[in-house]
Structure 1
Amino acid sequence: MPTRRGIAVGTAGVVLLVAGLVAGYRELVALGAVAVLALLVALLWAGWPPRLVVRRGVDPDRVTRGDDCRATVDLRSTARWRAQTLSAVEYLSTGGTVPVPTVRLRAGAHTTTGYVLPTERRGVLDVGPLEVSRQDPLGLVAATRRYGGTTRLWVHPRSHRLSRVPVGAARSLDGVVDAVQYGSITFHALREYVPGDDLRHVHWRTSARVGELMVREHVDTSLPRIVVLVDDRASAHTAASFEETAEAAASVLLAALRAELTAELHLASGRSVAGGSGGDGPGRARPYLDLLAELTTSADASLPRAVRTLRQRHRGDTLVLLTGADAVADLDSVGLLRDVYPTVVVGVLGGTGTGADGPSGRSLPGVITLTARTAEEFAGRWDGVSTW
């Protein structure tokens, strides 16, 4: 596309060319012809598409907010005879761009360049495509083309270490959760048979129908399970309290995994992650942190609906509700969960950090309420609870 300079040169060339022909001045005709020819050459120069193969990598593809993350772009020229000088930017799904260092590629050569990605905000960032710009030496025409697809980066919320978590069940003397009760093993799902499975668990009727061995998978429903419910209603939060809520949820979930508890994450809008337990490795915590990275406020989320869903779960769990200070008036329904969950904790983020009952007071009967301005302050109040 012609730049402002190109439009001015082209317009002036046409005017001079016409004026020269009408007035019979060869000099004006020559000057106008040179200007128009310069614009045409610039169109060919800049309009000739760069011949490139672009590959992009992001390392690591999951980071905690504020950590370093670098993208690497491999550029390979497929041109046969001419060198290419490339000026490019990477598009981001947030609407911004990241400049890529200018490179010069000989025909058939390849090079690798990199740049730092912004990780100051929690969320999911799609990086790409790469937009390559070309401009003629006179600056008359500039052309841009996009190469490559997109690469996704998950920016997880920060977390604050919690010293302990409520288990909602007794522990053995060696510190390991020990709450197995007779008859607590229940059917969970059917899956394909793998060598080593007990043949007594084969579901023959389903196996005959699908044509391959299917076995029943069972789970122990008595194992302590900590359920984290994040109130993602738009009406419950300010922008600041929502980010603090995400950090508080990450803190509780990582503490539960370190304590070898089974953890579940539920959003008031309906999405959930369940099933992880044991250890705090990145692979086990990844599904929870990914969902927290994708977390946005929802106008359709309903806290009463989420409470009704969680009331249908079996006894023996611990429930942690994390919400914003704007939702304090909507928490009456949470008290209904007290007869299902032995321990119910409500964290109110973005509040004043104090209350009539103290930092860890019980504003609802049988419910531990922790009010804090930030997730770091919430972690301190959490560890300050003497008994669950």
Structure 2
Amino acid sequence: MGLTTRGTGLLVAAAALLGTGWRFGYPELTVLGAAGAVAVGQAVLGAARSPRLTVHRVADPDRVAVGEPARMTLAVRNTGRLRVTSLLAEDRCAGRPVPVPLLRLRPGRDTTCGYDVPTRRRGVLPVGPLRVTRRDPLGLCAATRAYGPAAVVRVHPRVHPLVAVPTGAGRSLDGRVDGVPHGSITFDSLREYVVGDELRRVHWRTSARVGELMVRENVDTSLPRIVVLLDNRSAAHPDRVGGAAGSFEAACEAAASLVVAAFRQDLPVVLLLVDPADDRTADPPLDRLAAVTLTDPSGRGPDGPTVGGDRDGGVLGSTLTGLRGDRPGDTLVFLTGPGGRDDVGRVGALRGAYPSVLVGVLGAAGPTPSAAGPVVLDAVDGVAFAAAWDAVRRW
């Protein structure tokens, strides 16, 4: 709460009139100064009374792809006993003020308004809280308060449909890839019988020994396990336009397309970042892709270049070492930018641990020179990557 420019000027004038009238004996000036001081005091008391408002906020939807419409709806209700007037309200959406009209709210009444959320760029957009400014009728004093909770709208990368899906290191015995992880003929473990299990799967010898019906649990070992490694180093995406790296946005679109294609086929997929700093691994993959940003690991590691294009203290080397030891899948897809071309050979060295290794160079102006090694897909944007991906005949 504070005085406005008008209120400050009136307070200064009132003090001058009071001092002049008192000093030189002009009662008229003293009365004018006292009236001005009383008006400022009344304005402060009026603005100090906070209105009782409740704000209900709905984002429809709260998760969209780039360019899709999203709308924020606000319902403001007066829960007090008096009518609230002289209110100015604005919401904050992605760091920008959005005016919210508040008319004379009667007790127990509410007003509803909405506005479109900008979804032109990928990211996590904070929205709110609603800031309500109460002014006195003369505009001498203003008090701003926050009402209601804040919300978040996540703008996911565009998803381009992919037809082809890696078939994994193994093949199912009937010549196709089974989309169900259980129910094949490969024995995995024994478990207790539940209603609905087939009696032919009962393991009678173990059941007789333990005194309970035990059934064989079989799994399909031919399911491909896809690992998507997104290069989020700023050195891999050197070109910027308006503060955004087009190659990195294209890489995020490619990663989102791969994740969605795997989900639609009921295939396990793992999304990893080259630099996992500030990565919320517990969030869904598309939410992580909405929040991921370029990082500069050079400020956190040793100075100077290392091997190949890894000029950031070896963060890529550490990630590749972890992938070699953990082996979370059998198909590795590395998505990088023009600055990561020198690291193609280092990723290709993982072919001993991953039977299928593919490298996507997004934002590429030309073909990436490479010897015999992983499959390299050069694409200008996400659409070109989807076309190049579907054109691959051998994983």
Please tell me the residue identity of whatever aligns with 2:11. Answer: G
Q: What's the counterpart of residue 376 of structure 2?
A: 369
Q: What's the counterpart of residue 294 of structure 1?
A: 291
Q: What's the counterpart of residue 144 of structure 1?
A: 144
Residue in structure 1 matching 2:367, options 347, 350, 355: 355
Q: Is residue 2:338 matched to residue 1:335?
A: no
Which secondary structure does the structure 2 equivalent of 1:312 belong to?
Answer: helix
Moved more, 257-266 or 322-331: 257-266
Distance 2:220 2:176 in 1: 19
- CA shift, 1:381, in A, is 2.1
CA contact (8 A) 1:184 1:220 kept: no
Q: What's the counterpart of residue 210 of structure 1?
A: none
CA contact (8 A) 1:129 1:150 kept: yes
Change (3 A) 1:35 1:250: same
CA contact (8 A) 2:229 2:274 kept: yes
Please tell me the residue identity of whatever aligns with 1:355. Answer: P
Please tell me the residue identity of whatever aligns with 2:188. Answer: I
Residue in structure 2 matching 1:185, options 158, 183, 188: 188
Task: Give deviations 1:87-135, integer Å, cap 9, x for gaps.
Answer: 212234x433322233331122223222222222211222221110111
Q: Is residue 2:46 matched to residue 1:45?
A: yes
Q: What's the counterpart of residue 262 of structure 2?
A: 256
Please tell me the residue identity of whatever aligns with 2:385. Answer: F
Distance 1:155 1:315 in 2: 28
CA contact (8 A) 1:170 1:177 kept: no
CA contact (8 A) 1:84 1:106 kept: no
Q: What's the counterpart of residue 87 of structure 2?
A: 86
Distance 1:268 1:302 in 2: 7
Q: What's the counterpart of residue 10 of structure 1?
A: 11
- CA shift, 1:260, in A, is 3.4
Change (3 A) 1:251 1:316: closer
Distance 2:60 2:389 in 1: 34
CA contact (8 A) 1:227 1:319 kept: yes
Which secondary structure does the structure 1 equivalent of 2:348 belong to?
Answer: helix
Change (3 A) 1:148 1:219: farther
Give % identity: 45
Change (3 A) 1:64 1:7: same
Task: Give deviations 1:223-242, integer Å, cap 9, x for gaps.
Answer: 21111111112322242222
Distance 1:297 1:109 in 2: 47
Write the mapping of 1:51-200 to structure 2, written as runs, cut at 5 A.
51-92=52-93, 94-168=94-168, 169-170=170-171, 176-177=177-178, 185=188
Please tell me the residue identity of whatever aligns with 1:266. Answer: L
- CA shift, 1:22, in A, is 0.9
Q: What's the counterpart of residue 304 of structure 1?
A: 317
Distance 1:349 1:184 in 2: 42
- CA shift, 1:194, in A, is 12
Change (3 A) 1:2 1:194: farther
Distance 1:315 1:107 in 2: 60
Distance 1:194 1:150 in 2: 49
CA contact (8 A) 1:55 1:75 kept: yes
Which secondary structure does the structure 2 equivalent of 1:104 belong to?
Answer: coil
TM-score (structure 2 length as normaliser) = 0.79
Gaps of 5+ in 1: 202-216, 275-285, 358-362
- CA shift, 1:273, in A, is 6.0
Moved more, 231-240 or 298-307: 298-307
Change (3 A) 1:68 1:172: farther
Change (3 A) 1:343 1:30: same
Q: What's the counterpart of residue 384 of structure 1?
A: 391
CA contact (8 A) 2:125 2:152 kept: yes
Moved more, 12-21 or 251-260: 251-260
Which secondary structure does the structure 1 equivalent of 2:385 belong to?
Answer: helix
Please tell me the residue identity of whatever aligns with 1:99. Answer: P
Q: What's the counterpart of residue 207 of structure 1?
A: none
Which secondary structure does the structure 2 equivalent of 1:105 belong to?
Answer: coil
- CA shift, 1:297, in A, is 2.1
Segments of 4+ moved more than 6 angstroms: 171-174, 178-182
Please give the root-mean-square deviation of Cα atoms over the aligned residues, in Å: 3.3
Change (3 A) 1:355 1:157: same
Task: Give deviations 1:234-269, integer Å, cap 9, x for gaps.
Answer: 322242222111111111222222333221111123
Number of matched pairs: 351
Q: What's the counterpart of residue 208 of structure 2?
A: none
Please tell me the residue identity of whatever aligns with 2:21. Answer: G
Distance 2:180 2:57 in 1: 49
